[in-house]
Every structure is written in structure tokens, then in C-alpha cells.
């Protein structure tokens, strides 16, 4: 039993390397997945608890953590009397963090890979209608921002929706990865894997308007390979990209939970509703497994009924 003094004593700060890994992971979740603050706070609590458990064993870097450390941590939580759902959540969050760090090149292997995964309920991201998407894409306005920023922001929003790109892929887009005549983009995703995705006429026009227009007047732009730059000529980071989407959603009068991932989810769902096959959508999203893509096929009931009436012989 902890004493009153122990309960009021703030915990020791995490070793710097572990704290950095934690913050990088949470920033990526906030920017790319648009998770609510309450969810991020819960993830932070889970990971801080696990990292402190590891630090007490002398693991001051994330690459020093092992599968045994994670298994022992989960066993310790069970011994403290927490429920299986909480233990399962600890494992899921730790696995998400390890996979992120592997994709970022910070880890060579995922220590949680061989630990059996719990089957937890997945949560679908928010979805925009095609009309809502049009409002969002048109939201950057000269009334609120300089002309150069309007061009840049509209081009970024178009790429996020037209290509179903993650925010990290969009801000990492290079000028030599654009094929205007073929109307395709070469995106670099998780694990540095590249894929070719179509780029519609509106997105292509917005990109070229930015690249051949205001971007040319930014200091040092000619020496930069990245498409999306700040006013000072630096490449955009994830947080800035996330804020651009949030600002556009606010200006368009859309819900506050709209994020870059909302556009990715809307891209996939609208394709499937339009008749695209799941394998093609999987390729465009860059999913290694078709099971990951299946989360985007939860179409509304009316659409499913309409498809059945149109195509089933006894519809």
C-alpha cells in the first residue's frame, strides 16, 4: 500500500530518449489520425506507465525494450487487479507505438510482434459527404490568407483527398514525384514504400498552379525538392499540415473532428461507393493487407440496398 506522501509525489520524468519517442508517436497520432485529446491522454498514460516500468529495469532507450519487458508489464498490471480490457488496451497502444517507430526507422524490429493480439472493437474515422469535401477544398480564401498561402493550402487539400494520402505522404511529396502528363503522383508511405496513385484534373491543376506560381517566389524554393513549403522556404511539418486541414474545416463550417485522415477515409469510401473494387482501393491507399482496407467498406445501409436493387437478379 502506497503512503499518502508517495501518492502525492510526482513521478520521475522519463529518460529523454523514451520521452522523445513518446512525443513523436503522440504527435503523429494527433496529426495523421486526428484523435481526440481524451484518447491521446489515455494513450500517453498507457505508454508512460510501460516506459517507466522499462526504465526501472534500466531500459533508457526504446530500442532496449524487449518482448519480455512488455509481457512482464502486462502481467504486473493483471497482478494489480486491472481488467483484461485494460491489459488488452496497454498491449494495443504499445504495439501501435512500436510499429510507428519501426516505420520511422527508429527501431529495426517490433518487440510486440509475437505477442498475440486481442480482438478489440475498431473505430471508424469520421466521413465527409462529397458536398462537404467540395466545401472543405474551397475553404482557403484570400479573405483570410495571403494569395500564396491560398494556392498552397488548396493544393495540399486536393492531394490529401484526390490521392487518399496520409499527411506525412502529402507534405513529403517531391516535385520529381509528380507526372502531370500521366496525371499520377508517386507517394512514399510507411517503411519508405512508394506507390503510384492517380491525380485527378482538379488536383493536378491546383498542384501546378502552386508549383508554377507562388511557390516560385518563395526564397530558396528552387533548391528545395519538397512541393509544400512555408513562407520562409522550409518544408512543412505534420503539425502545420494538420492545422491547414483544421483551419479549412473551421472556415467551411464542418465538425471539429475533421482531420487529414478524414479526407483519406472519405477518398476510400467515395471510391467504393462509386463502384471501385477493394483491391484497387487497397493499392491506392498503400495497405499491405486487404483486411486493413476493409475498414473503409462500412457503407451506409441505403447505399447497400440501392446496390442490391440495381445488381442482384432478385433485387
- 287 counts as catalytic: yes
Q: Can 296 be counted among the known catalytic residues?
A: yes
Q: What is the CA radius of gyration of the chain?
A: 22
Does residue 261 carry a catalytic annotation?
yes
* Structure-block grid coordinates of residue 28: 503523429
C-alpha torsion 31→37→40→41, nearest 10: 150
| Whether residue 311 lies in the annotated active site | no
Active-site option among 166, 215, 238, 270: 166
Out of 152, 238, 264, 265, pick the active-site residue.
264
Q: Which one from 190, 209, 224, 243 is the annotated catalytic residue? A: 190
Q: Is 190 a catalytic residue?
A: yes
Q: CB 299: neighbour CB atoms within 10 A?
A: 14
* Residue 264 appears among annotated catalytic residues: yes
From residue 203, alpha-carbon distances to 117, 155, 163, 185, 234 in Å are 39, 7, 9, 10, 23
Buried b (16+ CB within 10 A) or exposed e, 47-60: bbbbbbbbbeeebe
- The CA distances from residue 277 to 272, 273, 297, in Å, are 7, 10, 10
Question: Which candidate in 30, 90, 204, 261 is catalytic?
Answer: 261
Residue of 30, 77, 90, 296 marked catalytic? 296
Residues with a catalytic annotation lie at: 166, 190, 261, 264, 287, 296
Amino acid at each position: 500500500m502506497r503512503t499518502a506522501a508517495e501518492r502525492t509525489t510526482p513521478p520521475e520524468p522519463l529518460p529523454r530518449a523514451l520521452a522523445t519517442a513518446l512525443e513523436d508517436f503522440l504527435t503523429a497520432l494527433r496529426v495523421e489520425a486526428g484523435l481526440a485529446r481524451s484518447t491521446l491522454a489515455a494513450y500517453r498514460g498507457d505508454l508512460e506507465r510501460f516506459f517507466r516500468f522499462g526504465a526501472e529495469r534500466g531500459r533508457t532507450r526504446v530500442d532496449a525494450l524487449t518482448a519480455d519487458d512488455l509481457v512482464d508489464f502486462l502481467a504486473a498490471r493483471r497482478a494489480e487487479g486491472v481488467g483484461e480490457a485494460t491489459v488488452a488496451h496497454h498491449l494495443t497502444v504499445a504495439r501501435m507505438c512500436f510499429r510507428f517507430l519501426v516505420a520511422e526507422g527508429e527501431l529495426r524490429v517490433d518487440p510486440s510482434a509475437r505477442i498475440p493480439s486481442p480482438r478489440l472493437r475498431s473505430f471508424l474515422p469520421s466521413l465527409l459527404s462529397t458536398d462537404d469535401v467540395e466545401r472543405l477544398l474551397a475553404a482557403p480564401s484570400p479573405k483570410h490568407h495571403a494569395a500564396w498561402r491560398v494556392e498552397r493550402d488548396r493544393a495540399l487539400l486536393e492531394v490529401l483527398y484526390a490521392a487518399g494520402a496520409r499527411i506525412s505522404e502529402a507534405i513529403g511529396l517531391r516535385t520529381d514525384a509528380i507526372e502531370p502528363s500521366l496525371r499520377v503522383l508517386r507517394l512514399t508511405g510507411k517503411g519508405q514504400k512508394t506507390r503510384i496513385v492517380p491525380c485527378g484534373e482538379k488536383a493536378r491543376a491546383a498542384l501546378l498552379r502552386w508549383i508554377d506560381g507562388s511557390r516560385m517566389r518563395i526564397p530558396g524554393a528552387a533548391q528545395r525538392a519538397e512541393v509544400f513549403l512555408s513562407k520562409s522556404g522550409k518544408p512543412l511539418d505534420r503539425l502545420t499540415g494538420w492545422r491547414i486541414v483544421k483551419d479549412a474545416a473551421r472556415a467551411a463550417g464542418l465538425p471539429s473532428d475533421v482531420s487529414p485522415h478524414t479526407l483519406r477515409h472519405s477518398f476510400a469510401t467515395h471510391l467504393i461507393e462509386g463502384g471501385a473494387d477493394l483491391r484497387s482501393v487497397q493499392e491506392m491507399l498503400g495497405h499491405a493487407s486487404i483486411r486493413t482496407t476493409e475498414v473503409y467498406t462500412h457503407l451506409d445501409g441505403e447505399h447497400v440496398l440501392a446496390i442490391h436493387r440495381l445488381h442482384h437478379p432478385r433485387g
